[in-house]
Amino acid sequence: MDILTEDSLLIKNYISGDEKALEILIEKHNQRLSSFIYSKVNNRDITEDIFQDTFIKVIKTLRRGTYNEEGKFLPWVMRIAHNLIIDHFRKSSRMPMFEGSDTFDIFAHIGDEKLNIERQLIKEQIDSDLEILVDELPEDQKEVLIMRIYRDMSFKEIAENTGVSINTALGRMRYALINLRKIIEQNNIALTN
């Protein structure tokens, strides 16, 4: 019997009144869920509290009959625990701290795909804005900047490809950066993530 079918059967048995089925379910996922919670809160007592709160929510949902059985019991329980961890830090109105660090941010350790997608969209927008700005540069400066930044060419390679001295290539790059800064300042553009 595979794990998903086994979870489904245990849930079904618990809903039918078999309390032992819930005990087996909790014991079965205890280690994985406890490890997940502890990795976020770094405290045994808080881990136990959140673990218990998680299964209280699970029990209430199962008793109400609002649990959708899709063979995804463990991911569902982990999501409940994840939300309770966030609630814990909100209630305590502080972010968790580790020794030697006074700027620990739980959201750096809790994966949230939506945040990653948002960061990617911001990066794409910045890249797009930068492309427009680079197009405003004089042709010789734009050429050197593209070779250096986007093609990762050395100034020696740039000089050879453009038929100018290394000093001229360096100068063009310097003026390209100066002009980009001016355009950014004049138009009050923010290119930050």
Residue 134's pLDDT is 85
Chain centre to alpha carbon of residue 120: 10
Q: Does residue 115 surpass a pLDDT of 60? A: no
pLDDT tens sequence across 4-39: 558 888 888 988 888 898 899 889 989 999 998 998
pLDDT band at residue 1 using 50, 70 and 90 as cut-offs:
very low
Range of the domain at 63: 3-97
Residues 29 and 70 in one domain: yes
Residue 192 counted as domain residue? no
pLDDT top residue among 182 and 120:
182
pLDDT tens sequence across 92-107: 755 544 544 555 555 5
Separation between Cα atoms, residue 162 and residue 151, nearest integer Å: 14
- 46, 73, 97: which is the final residue of a domain? 97
Residues 89 and 133 in one domain: no
Number of domains in the chain: 2
Mean pLDDT, residues 105-110 taken together: 55
Tell me the pTM: 0.47
Residue 122's pLDDT is 74
What end-to-end distance do the CA atoms of the chain give, in Å? 48
Residue 102 counted as domain residue? no
Q: Does residue 161 surpass a pLDDT of 60? A: yes
Mean pLDDT, all residues of the chain: 81
Residue 146's pLDDT is 87
Residue 107 counted as domain residue? no
- 73, 97, 121: which is the final residue of a domain? 97
> Is the Cβ–Cβ distance between 188 and 153 less than 8 Å?
no
SS3 for the chain, per residue? CCHHHHHHHHHHHHHCCCHHHHHHHHHHHHHHHHHHHHHHHCCHHHHHHHHHHHHHHHHHHHHHCCCCCCCCHHHHHHHHHHHHHHHHHHHCCCCCCCCCCCCCCHHHCCCCHHHHHHHHHHHHHHHHHHHHHHHCCCHHHHHHHHHHHHCCCCHHHHHHHHCCCHHHHHHHHHHHHHHHHHHHHHCCCCCCC
Q: Does residue 51 surpass a pLDDT of 90? A: yes
Residue 87's pLDDT is 84
Separation between Cα atoms, residue 180 and residue 137, nearest integer Å: 7
Residues 125 and 59 in one domain: no
Mean pLDDT, residues 177-193 taken together: 78
Mean pLDDT, residues 119-141 taken together: 82
Residues 125 and 178 in one domain: yes
Q: How many CB atoms lie within 10 A of CB 180?
A: 20
- 32, 65, 97: which is the final residue of a domain? 97
Residue listed under structure tokens 């997940």? 36
Mean pLDDT, residues 38-63 taken together: 90
Mean pLDDT, residues 66-79 taken together: 80
Closest of 24, 123, 37 to residue 80, by C-alpha: 37
Separation between Cα atoms, residue 135 and residue 140, nearest integer Å: 11
